[in-house]
Amino acid sequence: MGAERGRAEPAQAQEEAALRSDIGRAVGFSDAVFAIIITVLVLELSPPEVQPGGMAHALAEQWPTYLAYVTSYLWVAVGWLNHKGTFHRVRCTDRGLHWWNLAVLFTTALLPFATVVLSRSVQAGDRADEVLAVVLYALVGVLLSVAWLGLYHYLSRHQDLLQQHVPARFFGVERGRALFGIVAYAVAALVGALGSVPVALGIFLLLPVFYALSSNGFYDLRRRMRRPG
Amino acid sequence: MGAERGRAEPAQAQEEAALRSDIGRAVGFSDAVFAIIITVLVLELSPPEVQPGGMAHALAEQWPTYLAYVTSYLWVAVGWLNHKGTFHRVRCTDRGLHWWNLAVLFTTALLPFATVVLSRSVQAGDRADEVLAVVLYALVGVLLSVAWLGLYHYLSRHQDLLQQHVPARFFGVERGRALFGIVAYAVAALVGALGSVPVALGIFLLLPVFYALSSNGFYDLRRRMRRPG
Amino acid sequence: MGAERGRAEPAQAQEEAALRSDIGRAVGFSDAVFAIIITVLVLELSPPEVQPGGMAHALAEQWPTYLAYVTSYLWVAVGWLNHKGTFHRVRCTDRGLHWWNLAVLFTTALLPFATVVLSRSVQAGDRADEVLAVVLYALVGVLLSVAWLGLYHYLSRHQDLLQQHVPARFFGVERGRALFGIVAYAVAALVGALGSVPVALGIFLLLPVFYALSSNGFYDLRRRMRRPG
Amino acid sequence: MGAERGRAEPAQAQEEAALRSDIGRAVGFSDAVFAIIITVLVLELSPPEVQPGGMAHALAEQWPTYLAYVTSYLWVAVGWLNHKGTFHRVRCTDRGLHWWNLAVLFTTALLPFATVVLSRSVQAGDRADEVLAVVLYALVGVLLSVAWLGLYHYLSRHQDLLQQHVPARFFGVERGRALFGIVAYAVAALVGALGSVPVALGIFLLLPVFYALSSNGFYDLRRRMRRPG
């Protein structure tokens, strides 16, 4: 028993190290999930069975699905770029990081659903439905931002998981991007519920643009602004 | 012929070695299957076509699907973490290990289905349906635990497939985790069928928590308990 | 122009080499396709909307789908193991190999469809439907075997694409396995059409067992038979 | 602050380099998306519920779906081979390349939809529907070609992202392939709308053949023509 323990002790140290390595697998799994989410709405794009001559009308009727596909695709693409921008700075993972990553994937997977609800409600034109859909979409946006906030916060507290070249304050600063999302989506929900639905939709469209431009982080964005090109 | 055989003999030894190497492929395939299973219920999350003003009611009606999505997601996420915790201790694979891995993937793929049946039955509130759904869910849980038991048992008997640093008794001990699942799901089925459905649901919810906390194995769990942090 | 050509010539030789390398990508793409095919029938496993108390009947009615899921899963798993057994002997790919690989994936993707048609027809019990379904299933089996035959034949003629350790006649011998499939499926179709449907189903069930046992090739199978364990 | 900046400056240079490396992830993500697109129509291949004896008729009715599956599969396979032919010449990626890649994936994902609309319209035989479907299919083809044009153009302007062995004018020349697609699809739309739908379909079928033969680029094609075998 004593001998076995003696043999086990260094093995434990090796294990501790091994538990912190599989970033390849976390990234491969995430890529597969992103790939499914980004194409999930294509599965919805099947033309309804129509009478001869009715194709044009049937296809035109589906415009909210097309719009939902395009905007969801862009949003998930931005999410993937942000994910890549984050994880290429990560050297290894532990269980906490896995769970925050799973939270990001979970909330990202809700985007296509919220987008379809929103586009259908706007098509139907009922005020109550529109407000509901705006609030639902904003709620998904808040949850998504909270997941990213948790991921950034976790990385800012676990410097040992990061690549050598990452500046010490990098992920601390990135939390600001996620916090901004929480506030912006909450404001959009309020604006949609109490004021104008189109203004809320405008905020929804601007946010992915912001996150696309800053997908390599605030650090990178500031550098680009100082040195164009 | 003799010359060819002479040439073939060392090639056979090389082949024997080569047959035991492709862990990368087994892991990549498993990750893709897990990714599909974990997002499969999002495909169900399409809002029903509704009359203007009917969106709130239609969305609220779908709550069992939401609940099924959340719980399935958590369960499959735990499965993925356990899979990762297992395979990062594996150095190479052979055919037996492939088949046990395929059994784990197969039974994991049944979880979303059983979860949807369960949540719909609870929504409908019919006692006979509820008992049926509890037993079905428990059956899937037992099958899943049996697959894991087989995988752990196989690894405990094939030390040569493991990484150097893995303690000799590691997967022998892990069998206990799988056995516990078999017993717990059987008990939950009995409790649901003869006693209280809510108690059975409580057991169903606690088991993933247990497997999440022990996803790096009993060894790791014990170590964490002794040395918090 | 002369100078550029001078610069281009060695680049062409390098390119020729580079065109023959990306086995990682062919394997990753194939794994993703196999993963989708193997889980595609789970998407069918959604319980029908039922009246309270009707769940047991509705679930029991779906047994052909369950059977189709299990048998398809096993068949696609065998296909994946054969694919792995083939490609871990391949060193690099060219365009011809890609197209044969795409043919294998294409015909494998037809299996779940043929399986569902078969199980539903047997459930309905109509003789004409059963014969049709048996012939359709056998046709998919023949196409699948033809694709594997083409892949093996191509590899037997392109020794330069293989790993060093692979015996010279390996893939020439493997063609026999694929030819056997073509004959066996044709026989099953005839037996089903002219004689007994259950006998045809028996052949359908035995063939995956044969291919599972020989998934590492005839070479390996013979070796195992001579030296058990 | 000054000290921190001093420490940050070389880190920035390292980052700049790191931002340009993750080709593995872009390729893995693209492979997963291609895998989903190529199998998406199999999900449509479920036999309709039929009365006993009605299977033959029900299956025969679905021929446009079978045709759509085969042609889509071939088209997406050609797209994947072109993608592989492009990216195995790429050394590293930046954000611009990611977005052009995402555009290629997005437009590729529209192919199965356009194909189903086209085959159903031809089955129904209504002239107005057919013209609409031809124009829709051609539009998707134009969008796809524009995405490839953008990708090739981007690579022709960013020589630093390419492998060493790639000839300087390679991607400049490849733009011609994409431009040809834009013109050919526009012509097909005109021919379909003003003249003969079958001629338009013929153009649609020939284009993938052209892109399959030239999937390694014009350079390679010319070389093959000069030196057969």
- C27 interaction partners in chain B (CB closer than 8 Å): 25, 28
- Average pLDDT over every residue of A161-171: 87
pLDDT digits (tens, 9 = 90+) for B186-216: 999 999 999 899 999 999 989 988 888 887 6
Each residue of D39-59: pLDDT tens digit? 887 777 777 777 888 888 888
Give all domains of chain B, ordered by start, each with its CATH number: 21-226 (1.20.1410)
Q: Is C42 on the interface with D (CB under 8 A)?
A: no
Segment B123-131 mean pLDDT: 87
The neighbour count for residue C170, using CB atoms within 10 Å, is 23
Give yes or no for B15 touching C (CB within 8 A).
Answer: yes
Whether C46 and B113 lie within 8 Å, measured CB to CB: yes
User: According to the model, what pLDDT value does residue D45 have?
Assistant: 76
The pLDDT, as a whole number, for residue B54 is 85
B34-88: per-residue pLDDT in tens? 999 998 877 777 777 778 888 888 888 888 778 888 888 999 999 999 999 899 8
Question: What is the CA A138 to chain-centroid distance, rounded?
Answer: 13
Task: Show which subunits contact C, needing at least 3 CB pairs below 8 angstroms.
Answer: B, D
Mean of pLDDT values over D12-27: 66
Considering only the beta carbons, identify the residue of C15, C124, C128 that sits closest to D165.
C15
Min Cα–Cα distance to chain A from D129, Å: 5
- Other CB atoms within a 10 A radius of the CB of residue B47 amount to 18
Q: Which of B65, B82, B207 is nearest to B141 (CA)?
A: B207
* Inter-chain touch D136–A215, beta carbons under 8 Å: no
Task: Flag if D37 and A39 touch (Cβ within 8 Å).
Answer: yes
pLDDT digits (tens, 9 = 90+) for B82-111: 999 899 899 999 889 999 999 999 999 999
pLDDT > 70 fraction of chain A, expressed in percent and rounded: 84
Chain-chain contact of B55 with A129 (C-beta, under 8 angstroms): yes
**Which of C21, C45, C95 is best to mutate for the D interface (most D CBs within 10 A)?**
C95
pLDDT of C202 above 50: yes
Residues 190-209 of A with CB under 8 A from B: none
Q: Of A26-40, B50-64, C5-19, D79-93, which gets the smallest average pLDDT?
A: C5-19
> How far does the CA of residue D47 sit from the closest CA of chain C (Å)?
6
Q: Which residue of A has its CA nearest to B70?
A: A106
Contacts of C227 in chain B (CB under 8 A): none
Q: Which residue has the higher pLDDT, C52 or D130?
A: D130
Task: Enumerate the residues of chain B whose CB falls inside 8 A of the CB of residue C73.
Answer: 102, 106
CA B158 to chain centre: 21
To the nearest whole Å, the CA of C117 is away from the closest chain B CA by 21
Say if CB D140 and CB D114 are below 8 A apart.
yes
Chain A residues close to D113, C-beta within 8 Å: 42, 45-47
Cα angle: A90, vertex A96, A102; to 5 degrees: 85
pLDDT-derived band at C13, boundaries 50, 70, 90: low
Could B59 and A8 be called an inter-chain contact, meaning their C-beta atoms sit closer than 8 Å?
no
Contacts of B12 in chain C (CB under 8 A): 223
- In the predicted model, is pLDDT for residue A18 greater than 70? no
Which chain B residues have a beta carbon less than 8 Å from that of A110? 42, 45
Kindly list the distances between the CA atom of residue A131 and the CA atoms of A172, A190, B60, C2, C95, in Å, as whole numbers in the listed order: 35, 10, 15, 69, 54
Residue of C nearest to D47 (CA): C117
Measured N-to-C along each axis, helices D95-109 and A63-87 cross at an angle, to the nearest 10 degrees, of 150
Is B42 within 8 Å of chain C by CB? Answer: no
Flag if D98 and A81 touch (Cβ within 8 Å): yes
Q: Higher pLDDT residue, A195 or B183?
A: B183
DSSP reduced 3-state for A125: coil
Q: How far apart are the C-alpha atoms of C154 and C97, rounded to whole Å?
A: 7
* Residue, of C48 and A66, whose pLDDT is higher: A66
Q: What is the DSSP letter of C162?
A: B
